[in-house]
Every structure is written in structure tokens, then in C-alpha cells.
Amino acid sequence: MIGEPVLGVGGMIPPPDGYWPRVQEVLRAHGILLVLDEIVTAYGRTGHWFAAERYGLQPNVLVTAKALTSGYIPMGAVLIHDDVVAMLEGTAFRHGFTYNGHPVGAAVALANLGIIEREGLLQRAVEIGGRLLDGLKPAEQLDAVAEVRGVGAMLAVELASGHDAEGVGADARQQGVIVRATGQKIVLSPPLVIEPDQADRIVEVLGGALQRLGS
């Protein structure tokens, strides 16, 4: 089974309580491997190095990219559990890309992971995400807003049916706040280093745009 621990681009949708532990139990009972797509969630965004830790998962394969280098160089990494390696019984699993293990990519990833650790960005994801969530949550009172939700520094505003997020995105952009707005959803995945006053500015601008939508 392949799954995202928290749906990212799909709308920052957290799993229901107990969902992942139960899925893991069923998969184990039937000998099915779990491949966790942590492209969005790995390396701090949920307040943990991996969302797997947050949800008590021991995936067999864990797929990562984005925050591995914070985008300074394109790089991904696939982490494979020893139990999968053992299945190969010493046989080489042949795969290859021209730029596998590129030294520049590896150096950037190591430097970037060092910054995340030194600057306490896991904790910061929780603080910044919490600040944004607290600031945006009151927008749920508006008829045009169905839900404001978040996990760590992954947040979304879901509009009520019949409302178009793209107009909200365009409104916010005019005031210098760029959000991803498609369909009925506005998703936020800010850099973990943004300052509290920048988070407050996002709340002010996006909150205003949502209010104008409701009026």
C-alpha cells in the first residue's frame, strides 16, 4: 500500500484518529508492505523528522524529497527498512540514475538537515503552524468557509461548496501573500523559518480576503 500520512496537495487532510495504526495492523496481518509517501511531510513539517513517528508507523519504504534540501538543489531519497533489504537475501537490487548519490546534492542535504537540527525547526513548525491555525480558525464562522485545519506547518482553508478559492488566492496575491488556491481549497505550506509577524501578515491578508468572499 502506498499512502501519504497527511494528504498534502489534496487539501492538507489529516487522518482520522487511529486510522494509521489500524491500517498498519491490517497490512501486517496480510503481509502487505507499507510505502509511505513523505515527500511533503518528511524532515520537520509535522513537527517530527518524519510523520511516521507522529502516527506511530514503521513503514517498509519511506519516500522523501522536498525538505531534504529545502529545494536548494533537486534531490530525493528513498529510505528502505532492513526487513525489505533482508527479503533480497543478498541479491543486488539493480537500479540506477545518472546522478544517483550526487556529491553536491548530498552535501546540500547534509548542510540543510544540520540547519533544521541546529535552528530547532521541528519545534518551529509546531509554533508557526499553531499561530497560523489559531489566527485563521475564526474564519470558520464565515458562511463561505467550511473548515480551517492543520497539522504542524501544513494548513488548509476549505471553502463551502459554490465558492471558488482562486478568487481568494488572487485577492491575497494583490496584497503580497501568495497561497496555493485551487477548487475549493487554499493550502499553506510556509517555510519553517518565517517570523511570527510574517505569519500574522498571512492571517491578516488571507482572513481579509475570506471575509470579502463572505460579504
| Residues in touch with ligand PLP (CB under 6 A) | 4, 8-9, 37, 39-40, 65, 76
Nearer to ligand PLP, 65 or 116 (CB): 65
Nearest 5°: phi and psi at 156?
-145, 145
CB of 9 to ligand PLP, least distance (A): 5
Query: What would you report as the CA-atom Rg of the chain, rounded to the nearest whole angstrom?
Result: 19
Q: How far is the CB of 41 from ligand PLP (least distance, A)?
A: 8
Report in angstroms how near the CB of residue 75 gets to ligand PLP at its nearest: 10
Q: Which is nearer to ligand PLP, 86 or 178 (CB)?
A: 178
Q: Which residue number, 138 or 191, has a Cβ lying nearer to ligand PLP? A: 191
CB of 10 to ligand PLP, least distance (A): 8
Torsion region of 140: left, alpha or beta (phi above 0 gives left; psi -120 to 50 gives alpha): alpha
Please identify the residue of the shown chain whose CB is closest to the bound ligand PLP: 39
Q: Which is nearer to ligand PLP, 102 or 201 (CB)?
A: 102
Order of strands, edge to edge, in the sheet holding 35-37?
A: 2-3, 35-37, 61-64, 77-80
Is residue 122 a contact partner of residue 48, using CB atoms and an 8 Å limit?
yes
**Closest separation between CB of residue 19 and ligand PLP, Å?**
17
How far is the C-alpha of 52 from the C-alpha of 35, rounded, in Å?
11
Q: Is 146 exposed, middle or buried (0-12, 13-18, 19+ CB in 10 A)?
A: middle
In the bound state with ligand PLP, the residue whose beta carbon lies nearer, of 60 and 189, is: 189
